[in-house]
Structure 1
Amino acid sequence: MSLKSSYSFLLLLIRLLAIQWLIMFKSVTSEFRLTIIHNNDFHANYLPMKANNNAECFENWDKNKDCVGGVARTVGKVKEIRQKFINNNENVLFLNAGDHFQGTSWYTLLKSKVVADFVHLMKHDVMTLGNHEFDDGPEELQKFVNLMNGTLPIVCCNVDFDKSLELHKIIQKSIVMKVNNVDVAIIGYLTPHTEFVSSPGKLVKFRDEIQAIQEEIQTLKAKHPHLNIFIGLGHSGYDRDIEIAEKVPDLDVIVGGHSHSYLYSGKNFPSIEKPEGPYPTIFEHAIKTSSYENNGTTLIVQAFAYGKYIGILNLTFNDAGQIVKYTGEPILMSHNIPGDVETETILRKFNDQLSIKYNETFGMATEAFIQNTCRSKECSLGNLITDSFVNHFSNLQKKEKVRQIRQSNNGACKLMALINGGNIRTSIDKGPITYRKLISVLPFTNNLGLLTVTGSELWDILKKSANQHDRGGFLQVSGVRVTFGTTSSKTVIKKSKLINVEAFCDGKWTPISKENTFQVVITNFLANGGDNYTINIKNWQDYQLVDRDILSEYIRKQQKITPILDNRIQFIVDNQNNSSQTLNYNLFLTFVIAILFFIKSSHI
């Protein structure tokens, strides 16, 4: 072969190799893989909890196989996953969807200091705000932010802080992170209902999430022309996240919180939680206009609450920023998952300090009082709490420290008590009861007072409760019987209507008259419009009695308490769908019999 031919052959070989290299390079770079670890609504549940009722494990949690979750397991598992991905040169982000504050004795007694200590150990890449981050006003949130000392980006696009607040400069609307040289935008948002369910004060304003997210996406696109991956990190609840996915198609993923939704696609549930929807929940877009086209997918995830699970979502994006492949599931922080040693040491140190002060036993639960259903139906723990309120104020009436109202037609009616299910945070396990356990059950330190209402006003309050079925505003009751109507559902009953209200007057249950007047024990949270209730505050007298102190006093007197359900809250389920299915089945069966009869007759 001549030198010229050899040179030509070498050039051809180089070109072929170059083309092959470009093809290989394109195949490698055309896909971007990202794994999202996520949790939400930790609510200061640093101790493990009982798997069957979510009550805290105050001792021997390392030996009790029923104890799952806890901050040490969360930190340990996230470290393990991160290390695995680092070893394989893969991309991972750990996102938190808010509500680190409030929910157990840890926050009630130690506030933002203990939250910051454990959040430091979790090492989230990004966090958004939850409504409970405002429970002690923006001042306590500011303390938490100061303690984090710039190590944790906090994003929320629809909360506007007054310029007089330092938070105005610190809380960002979004953040664009470089992940293996790929830009990933993370946009935070929070339910505007925070104004009613927490204590943000007058210097914090909330906007509609959808409008704020859309505006922030346009701002980011203008600043980053090549940006095409957008993650929503929100605390507005599962139902609202689905609405946001529909209205904001640019979002590829929504990592949610607030509704404590357990999402799962498997057949065998790892614990007691029943799925509200699949993991991930998929929203397919098919939008085409003269100026915009989107045929992509938005994935919605959430991982229940209380540190019981973490979510793992594995994603593959193409060059256009569209998701082309995904897998994932929530992982139960089961007893066999080892806890992080450093975190476990800090946890035990704090726990020992709290136990010395607050672990006096003053009562015994013969069985567990379950909190899990207090937002959706009558629960034994709600009955215990509201009964304790009625008992205390009835005793005050007997001592003539509270005036008893007598009706002209119904005589004397029994006192009533109401408490929102979202105020009840953890279960009381079978066995000894300590004040620390009660702090975790009622951590908000609400004052009790007496509200005077007409029957019409009481009806409106309980009607609002029906509208908040399966949410924190659903009311537990004492001294009143309530009947709701609802429709059956394969998953959760979410919409109800008020049908009947009865009061106990002159020794018998009677439907309330809307003109009569009643006395109802409620917390200052409800009296001040919490959970969006409309209460005439002028008719509420604050007796400055702390809710859990009254509960504690009641249990001390009883010594032994037993869970009771007595149908004070009832649901009449409309089975029209089931009746329709039964009718269709009967018609089908009749049709089949007729066909068989016809065939048989034709052979005779």
Structure 2
Amino acid sequence: MKRRDFIEKTAASTALLSLGLSMSSFTSADVKHITILHTNDVHSHIDPFPADDPRNANMGGVSRRAALIDVIRKENPNVLLLDAGDIFQGTPYFNYYGGELEFKLMSMMKYDASTIGNHDFDNGVEGLYAQMPHAKFEFISSNYDFKNTVMDGLVKPYKIFNKDGIKIGVFGLGIQLDGLVDKLMYKETIFNDPVETAHDMVRILKKEQKCDLVICLSHLGYKYRDEPNKMCDLKLAEQTQDIDLIIGGHTHTFLDKPTIVKNKAGEDVLVNQVGCYGINLGRIDFYLNNDKTKSSQGKSIIV
């Protein structure tokens, strides 16, 4: 066994034990194992950083991410691959292709869904619309109302995935566009309150659709030290319930592992974000028993 593989396997075992669980706890056929892989704020970074980059030398790159995802899918076929927005803007690839390359590559990697970030409006709502035929994955945004734009009907408020008999409900939340994005870019897109929207989505996904896992793809930001009252992922977790995982974006926050937050019902919510530019791939593993009790572990994997 290679040294790196040994270290990763040992670290994973340690994480399980820290939750009071042994590896044997997950050998039963009655336990369902779901793996969530995720990215955020990739910002059109297709190539790895060059060897002489002062901060991220030889890190990232779509081909490396694709290879890593393929290895994980061979370990566990029950994988969801998600993105928390800001796919566009950041390299000449976007300036030249307008997002076509990004969507095509994500489709080749078999992303399941993405939410929409503020920079995904950088070529206007029409520019986003023009690239939609290249995306073979779902766009999910629950609090952006596109009814008076060309994007009407192309974005879903939520999506339910079924993996090994486990129902996984995914919804998306975008940041307030006013003051952040030129009005000419997002046109008549309406922003609705994220917390109120989350309550509605959770009611549908958990109460009505009986989802076993509920995931929020958020582009609200992890937290804001200079704006303590601004809505963010940590506040969203505290003010809602029945969300199992918030996958975040926007603030380019690097977390080695998910933050655990108590929701309004006193239950644990995982909040994770893996920085930016495709440098890391987030991995969250959920283990569900027959009675649908859950345990989880998570980490950030360097690409």
Output the TM-score relative to the length of structure 2: 0.81
Instruction: Name 1:128's counterpart in structure 2.
Output: 115
Instruction: Name 2:43's counterpart in structure 1.
Output: 43
Q: Does 1:197 align with 2:180?
A: yes
The separation in 2 between residues aligned to 1:247 and 1:28, in whole angstroms, is 36
CA positional deviation for 1:209:
1.0
The separation in 2 between residues aligned to 1:35 and 1:205, in whole angstroms, is 33
Aligned partner letter, 1:53: P
CA positional deviation for 1:321:
4.7
Aligned partner letter, 1:327: Q
The separation in 2 between residues aligned to 1:318 and 1:245, in whole angstroms, is 24
195-204 vs 245-254, greater mean Cα deviation = 195-204
1:139 match: secondary structure: helix
Instruction: Name 1:137's counterpart in structure 2.
Output: 124
**Percent identity between the two aligned chains:** 28
Instruction: Name 1:598's counterpart in structure 2.
Output: none
| Aligned counterpart for 1:153 among listed residues 117, 134, 138 | 138
Question: 4+ runs of 1 displaced by more than 4 Å?
Answer: 318-322
CA positional deviation for 1:244:
0.6
| Match runs of 1:504-523 below 5 Å | none
Q: Aligned residue pairs: how many? A: 265
| Aligned counterpart for 2:246 among listed residues 229, 244, 254 | 254
| Match runs of 1:320-359 below 5 Å | 321-323=292-294, 325-333=295-303
Q: Is the 8 A contact 1:229 1:321 kept in 2?
A: no
Q: Is the 8 A contact 2:147 2:153 kept in 1?
A: no
The separation in 2 between residues aligned to 1:167 and 1:318, in whole angstroms, is 40
1:48 match: secondary structure: coil
The root-mean-square deviation of aligned C-alpha atoms, in Å, is 2.0
- The answer for unaligned runs of 5 or more in structure 1 is 1-26, 56-65, 265-278, 288-293, 334-604
1:233 match: secondary structure: strand
Instruction: Name 1:75's counterpart in structure 2.
Output: 66
CA deviation profile, 1:548-586 (whole Å, cap 9, x unmatched): xxxxxxxxxxxxxxxxxxxxxxxxxxxxxxxxxxxxxxx
Instruction: Name 2:11's counterpart in structure 1.
Output: none
The separation in 2 between residues aligned to 1:156 and 1:179, in whole angstroms, is 22
| Match runs of 1:404-483 below 5 Å | none
The separation in 2 between residues aligned to 1:304 and 1:298, in whole angstroms, is 19
In structure 2, relative to structure 1, the CA distance for the partners of 1:232 and 1:85 (3 Å cut) is same
Instruction: Name 1:306's counterpart in structure 2.
Output: 277
CA positional deviation for 1:101:
0.4
Instruction: Name 1:207's counterpart in structure 2.
Output: 192
In structure 2, relative to structure 1, the CA distance for the partners of 1:133 and 1:173 (3 Å cut) is same
CA positional deviation for 1:191:
0.8
Bigger radius of gyration among the two? 1
Q: Is the 8 A contact 1:303 1:330 kept in 2?
A: yes
Q: Is the 8 A contact 1:303 1:311 kept in 2?
A: yes
In structure 2, relative to structure 1, the CA distance for the partners of 1:221 and 1:284 (3 Å cut) is closer
Q: Is the 8 A contact 2:166 2:212 kept in 1?
A: no
Aligned partner letter, 1:234: S
The separation in 2 between residues aligned to 1:195 and 1:217, in whole angstroms, is 26
Instruction: Name 1:216's counterpart in structure 2.
Output: 201
CA positional deviation for 1:92:
1.4
The separation in 1 between residues aligned to 2:95 and 2:221, in whole angstroms, is 24
Q: Is the 8 A contact 1:101 1:133 kept in 2?
A: yes
In structure 2, relative to structure 1, the CA distance for the partners of 1:256 and 1:320 (3 Å cut) is farther
Q: Is the 8 A contact 1:228 1:320 kept in 2?
A: no
1:170 match: secondary structure: coil
In structure 2, relative to structure 1, the CA distance for the partners of 1:196 and 1:48 (3 Å cut) is same
1:232 match: secondary structure: strand
Instruction: Name 1:100's counterpart in structure 2.
Output: 87
Q: Is the 8 A contact 1:230 1:253 kept in 2?
A: yes
In structure 2, relative to structure 1, the CA distance for the partners of 1:235 and 1:320 (3 Å cut) is farther
Instruction: Name 1:443's counterpart in structure 2.
Output: none
The separation in 2 between residues aligned to 1:190 and 1:28, in whole angstroms, is 38
Q: Is the 8 A contact 1:98 1:129 kept in 2?
A: yes
- The answer for unaligned runs of 5 or more in structure 2 is 1-27, 224-231
The separation in 2 between residues aligned to 1:130 and 1:201, in whole angstroms, is 11
Aligned partner letter, 1:309: N
Instruction: Name 1:282's counterpart in structure 2.
Output: 260
